[in-house]
Amino acid sequence: MTTKAKDSKRAADATLTGTAAHQIEKKMKNQVHHSIVYSYNVGDTIERFKTCTPEEQANIEVHIAKVIIESFVEPADDDYLAARSLAIGGLHRSFFWSAAQAVEKYLKAFLLLHGVPVRDLSHHLNPLLREAKKVQAGFSDIDLTPHSHLVLPPGFPLSQFKLESFVSVLDKYGSADNRYNNYGAIYDTGHLFALDSLAYHLRNKMSVPSIEASFHRRLSVDFQRYLYENNPYFAPPEFMHAAPPNPLFPLSNGVFVPHWKTLQMSDTMQYLFPKMWLAKHMKIDWPPKLKK
């Protein structure tokens, strides 16, 4: 059996629990049971579903849940690990891109598992968050404060966020509009700790398999460290965290303002002509669109 086939078998054996329909139990390859919470009603979309036997209905629901997990949760976990790696490595603008990608996929997975279509929703995070709040009361109460087991030096400035404000930050700095560095980035390690909290709580709300299961293979030593270091949400209990700051996990902050923002400060010839030339040669938001 090939590696790919083994991975597919392991994913196919996951247990799923329908909160509004059936309870189905299947064993994972490693003999550990796992439940994924979903509440979609296939019969609302496909009338013939109601004529299926209970076993057929259960299998149909499981197939749907597996595709949601593989299409959204597993890629989100990849993006989350990439975001942690980039933040620890000091590539802050790229951190925001991967972080926004992860949160978008987690939110879409949450909505789909609750039967909310996402095909007409954009990549912007704020509309996804609004839809998630409609699905579950108290969704906005997700706590993004750093994990209580973190040992942080006194006096180091760390940004702390409410859910809505953090999602808005990711929506700005991690958006496609910032792919060419239009907005730059304002970052400190508090952004990473907020992402850790958000990823954990979003995954917990879906009760999806462990994050390690998403990678389908053992991570390299370096990527294990990027995932676990100063991340009590996901690190195994025996993992020894190195108190920050240290060479393996620096505490950092930085503000990068792109030169394009400097050009917005004036319309004198030396500032106006560069804007005019750039607007003719690249896709850029100039002249500014009037707000309706």
| Res 48: pLDDT | 95
Does 253 lie in the same domain as 139? yes
Q: Which residues contact 188 (CB under 8 A, 6 or more apart)?
A: 157, 158, 159, 251, 252, 253, 254
Rounded-to-integer distance, Cα 41 and Cα 24, Å: 15
Are 202 and 121 members of one domain?
yes
pLDDT of 95 above 70: yes
- pLDDT band at residue 7 under the 50/70/90 scheme: very low
Count of structural domains, the chain: 2
Asked, for residue 126, whether it belongs to a domain, the answer is yes
**Which amino acid is residue 263, in one-letter code?**
L
Per-residue pLDDT, averaged over 104-121, amounts to 95
Question: Which residues have C-beta within 8 Å of that of residue 241, sequence separation ≥ 6?
Answer: 151, 228, 229, 230, 232, 235
- In the chain, the percentage of residues whose pLDDT exceeds 90 is 72
**Same-domain pairing of 155 and 215:** yes
pLDDT(221) > 90: yes
pLDDT at site 200: 98
What pLDDT is attached to residue 288? 75
Alpha carbons 116 and 94: distance in angstroms, whole number: 30
Enter the pTM of the model.
0.85
**pLDDT the model gives residue 290:** 59
Mean local confidence (pLDDT), 250-259: 90
Residue 269 has pLDDT above 70, yes or no: yes
Q: Is residue 47 part of a domain?
A: no
DSSP assignment string, 31-85: S-----EE---GGGT-GGGGGS-HHHHHHHHHHHHHHHIIIIIHHHHHHHHHHHH
Adjacent-strand bridge partners of 23: 17
Cα 186-190-196 angle, rounded to 5 deg: 120
Of 287, 266, 288, residue with least CA distance to 276: 287
Q: Can you tell me the mean pLDDT for 180-206?
A: 95
Q: Say which residue, 157 or 3, is predicted with more confidence.
A: 157
Q: What is the pLDDT averaged over residues 255-277?
A: 92
Do 210 and 108 share a structural domain?
yes
- Give Dmax over CA atoms of the chain in angstroms: 75
What average pLDDT score do residues 212-232 get? Answer: 94
pLDDT per position as a tens digit, 175-190: 988 888 888 899 999 9
Q: What is the mean pLDDT of the chain?
A: 86
Q: What is the mean pLDDT of residues 119-126?
A: 89
In this structure, the answer to whether residues 109 and 163 fall within a common structural domain is yes
Residues 105 and 212 in one domain: yes
- The answer on 105 and 181 residing in a single domain is yes
How does residue 291 score in pLDDT terms, banded at 50, 70 and 90?
low
Q: In this structure, is residue 62 part of a structural domain?
A: no
Task: For residues 273 and 168, state if they share a domain.
Answer: no
In this model, does residue 9 exceed pLDDT 60? no
Structural domain boundaries enclosing 184:
71-257
**Would residue 4 count as lying in a domain?**
no
| pLDDT (0 to 100) of residue 31 | 29
pLDDT tens readout for residues 30-66:
324 466 778 899 999 999 999 999 999 999 999 999 9
pLDDT at 21: 31
My answer on whether 129 and 191 are in the same domain is: yes
**9 belongs to a structural domain:** no
- pLDDT range class, residue 216, cuts 50, 70, 90: confident
Considering the domain architecture, whether residues 221 and 82 belong to the same structural domain is answered as yes
Average pLDDT over residues 119-144: 92
The answer to whether the CB of 282 falls within 8 A of the CB of 263 is no
Instruction: Report the alpha-carbon distance of residue 152 to residue 287 in Å, rounded.
Output: 45
Report the C-alpha gap between 38 and 111 in whole angstroms.
Answer: 10
